[in-house]
Amino acid sequence: MMFDKPKIILASTSYIRRQLLNDAGVEFEAKNSNLDEEMVKIGLRENGLKPHEQAHELAKLKAFKLSRGNEDFVIGCDQILSLEGQEFDKASNMDEARERLKTFRGKAHNLETAITIVKNGQMIWRHDASPRLQMRNFSDEFLEYYLEKSGKQILKSVGCYQLEGMGIQLFEKIEGDYFSILGLPLLELMSYLRLHKLVEN
């Protein structure tokens, strides 16, 4: 009897995560987990979970939602921005993005990034990262210029910036892995995939 080779499933339709895996030559399927993230976050925060714990739980739940109880490797990812112990979600509009960036201006924040792999309904691997990003004290004039040039695409990012684009101009110092900042700790993931012969070694 022939059995299908285990697939790699990305429990996310994030453009940048899909692009990173595609560029790395990984064969995978991207699917929306359809997890009600807002409701889950409310529960996690009511239970007092810290930002990095929230990111881990969300990543795990996304993967579990798509785990079919078979041999597929389901990757779940999440990222929460933490500033001085307070978590931030994506801005809903450009006015909110403006105020959010004013809050971040001149300060350092962390991007609590979590990735898990679930197989047969069991979590078999996890990795957490916490890159730290120092925003420069940019002027109001630059902020308006940035918002106009970047447009609504920044609303797709929890920090209202895309580091691979014009968002880099907001920062004066970055500590941590570049791929983790983009939302997918690619080096650690690739090491795991090679170890389990899911990609060429």
Q: Where in the sequence numbering do the catalytic residues fall?
A: 78
Strands (E), 84-121: 86-88, 108-119
Which of these, 177, 178, 189, 154, lies nearest to 59 by C-alpha position?
189
Is the CA virtual torsion 173, 177, 179, 182 positive or negative? negative
Q: Are 188 and 180 in contact (CB under 8 A)?
A: no
| Separation CA 108–CA 117 (nearest Å) | 30
**For residue 75, what are the β-bridge partners?**
10, 117
The total number of residues written for the chain in this structure: 201
The answer to whether residues 74 and 53 touch, using CB atoms and an 8 Å cutoff, is no
C-alpha dist (Å) from residue 16 to 3, 119, 182: 32, 24, 7
The rounded radius of gyration (Å) of the Cα atoms in the chain is: 18
